[in-house]
Amino acid sequence: QLQLQESGPGLVRPSETLSLTCSVSGGSVSTSLYWSWIRQPPGKELEWIGYVYKSGSTNYNPSLKSRVTISLDTSRNQSSLKLISVTAADTAVYYCAGDSTPSRWYFWGQGTLLIVSS
Amino acid sequence: ESVLTQSPGTLSLSPGERATLSCRASQSVSSSLAWYQQKPGQAPRLLIYGASSRAAGIPDRFSGSGSGTDFTLTISRLEPEDFAVFYCQQYGTLPYTFGQGTKLEIK
């Protein structure tokens, strides 16, 4: 059974860069699955951030496209998310997710809370 | 961007009753709609995809219907563990978007 686990700093200052990783166990990031990131601000609905495929191809939400990068590290069996120039509006629980399609998600991590504050 | 509007915002029912949740899209998404259940402090759980196909391991009391712009999630007989927040999500057009959620609470 595929298991995903997010990790990150918990707290980031405004204007800095956010870096999160998603460690995958029970399978390889090099298999034919899409690895996605989704976030949820406190008390609000979910927002799709983007995905990466084993080929390295990516697709991002236009609202975040200028600030986000999603990539794979096959040597560590991880997916990573980088978001530059963060603001308080980026405070959210960040989830990584995987599925055989890029557009819906069966496997989820438990989520990691990121707070943007000085 | 396709905006999804869910109704009602909160639904109060008792175990054993039938629940009907609605999701309306601002533009047609064909059958490219999924439903998720989320409990406090947990990740969402995929229930339905393709508007009416149950995900692996989902009990048959959960069913989905609809196409185009109007969709419904039905829980035939509520179990105590079913009470949660439910989100619809469309993947007919980019970017993928979610509804604002319906909270199903115990009456």
The span from the CA of A103 to the CA of A50, in Å, is 9
- Omega cis (within 30) before B8: yes
Cβ <8 Å between B46 and A63:
no
Strands (E), B1-107: 4-7, 10-13, 19-25, 33-38, 45-49, 53-54, 62-67, 70-75, 85-90, 97-98, 102-106
| pLDDT score for A61 | 97
Phi, psi for B71 (deg, rounded to 5): -135, 155
Residues in chain A: 118
- DSSP-derived 3-state class of residue A89: helix
Cβ <8 Å between B91 and A104:
yes
Token pair, residue A38, equals 């989704």
What is the interface size between A and B, counted as CB pairs within 8 Å? 44
Average pLDDT value for residue range B66-73: 98
Average pLDDT value for residue range A66-77: 96
Q: Which residues from chain B sit within 8 angstroms of residue A106, using beta carbons?
A: 46, 55-56
Give which of A47, A58, A105, A110 to mutate to test B binding, by max B Cβ within 10 Å: A105
Closest B-chain CA to A40: B43
The span from the CA of A69 to the CA of A82, in Å, is 5
Chain A residues within 8 Å of chain B (Cβ atoms) = 45-48, 59, 61-63, 95, 97, 103-106, 108-111
Within 13 Å and on the Cβ side, how many CA atoms surround A37? 31
Q: Which residues from chain B sit within 8 angstroms of residue A104, using beta carbons?
A: 34, 46, 49, 89, 91
Compute CA distances A22 → A27, A77, A85, A99, B99, whole Å. 13, 9, 21, 14, 25
| pLDDT score for B78 | 97
Where does the pLDDT of residue A32 fall: very low under 50, low under 70, confident under 90, or very high at 90 and above? confident
Is A61 in contact with B95 (CB distance < 8 Å)? yes
Stronger pLDDT, A1 or A117, i.e. the higher one = A117
Cβ <8 Å between B43 and A108:
yes
Q: How close A65 comes to chain B (CA, Å)?
A: 11
- DSSP-derived 3-state class of residue A90: helix
On average, the pLDDT of chain A sits at 95
| pLDDT score for A66 | 96
Predicted confidence (pLDDT) per residue in A16-28, tens digit: 999 999 999 999 9
Q: How close B93 comes to chain A (CA, Å)?
A: 10
Token pair, residue B69, equals 């712009």
Token pair, residue B103, equals 């909270």
| pLDDT score for B87 | 98
Token pair, residue A93, equals 């629980």
